[in-house]
Amino acid sequence: MHGPTQPEAHVMVSALNARLTHHGATDVLRAAFEAVPDIALVSSFGAESVVLLHLAAMIKRDVPVIFIDTEMLFAETLVYQQDLAERLRLENVTVIRADDLAAQDPYNTLHQRDTDACCAVRKTRPLQAALATHSGWITGRKRYQSGSRASLEFFEVEDGTGRIKVNPLARWAPEDVAEYMDENRLPRHPLVAQGYPSIGCAPCTSKVATGEDARAGRWRDTDKDECGIHFVNGKMVRVGATT
């Protein structure tokens, strides 16, 4: 990784957020590709992932796309990932997996005892290793998804890593996502029609009833609402223009 120093990254992020305050996702992506040439896009290929992937593919089809296979995903997600990458003609998709599952979770039961530890082993650590060669990454996070994301900015800096994190869809509403999918005739994740508006690992994702929050089925009946890939040293990292 040969990106800006952390002080330089803070200055860059502040300037980008100020300049792009009234701009849309496409402009944010173009600015991100220009400001951080080695940036990667991290995608779960979940319920709403197709929007960001489609936007990125229209601008830079060879953007590095990182997909974390936790080896506990729904079979439908794995098939969708392959189909979507082909349909959007994404040229640089990398599938990553944990390399120490035999030692860390030999019986695939860690999620039953400690969901945070399971996410760390299967998602957070593999992703951090994959991002080691990148000085920035693009996410599909949106303000409406949870209370911890309510003040999300387009550009952030991760304390600890100094990487620039880009959230082009931060200000999109659920209806914006649905409208974009309809207008561009983008394929839905097959589980959405079955009652899964937010999709993670199979053991920790349940159907959502009418009227429930879209993420209610993620780690149901717990106070957990993030897998951990957006945390550094156990804390949510959100450093924007005011830092």
Q: How far apart are CA 7 and CA 32, in angstroms?
A: 18
Contact 126, 100 (CB under 8 A): no
Question: How many helices and strands in the chain, by DSSP H and E?
Answer: 9, 8
Token pair, residue 105, equals 């979770």
Element (H, E) at 166: strand 164-166
- In the 8-state DSSP scheme, what is residue 198? S
**Strand-pair partners of 94:** 66
SS3 96: strand
Q: How far apart are CA 120 and CA 135, in angstroms?
A: 21
Contact 215, 207 (CB under 8 A): no
Residue 176 amino acid letter: D
* Catalytic-residue membership of 119: no
End-to-end CA distance of the chain: 23
The catalytic position among 118, 201, 204, 227 is 227
Q: How far apart are CA 143 and CA 173, in angstroms?
A: 8
Distances (CA, A) of 47 to 50, 81, 170, 232, 238: 8, 11, 16, 25, 24
Active site members: 227
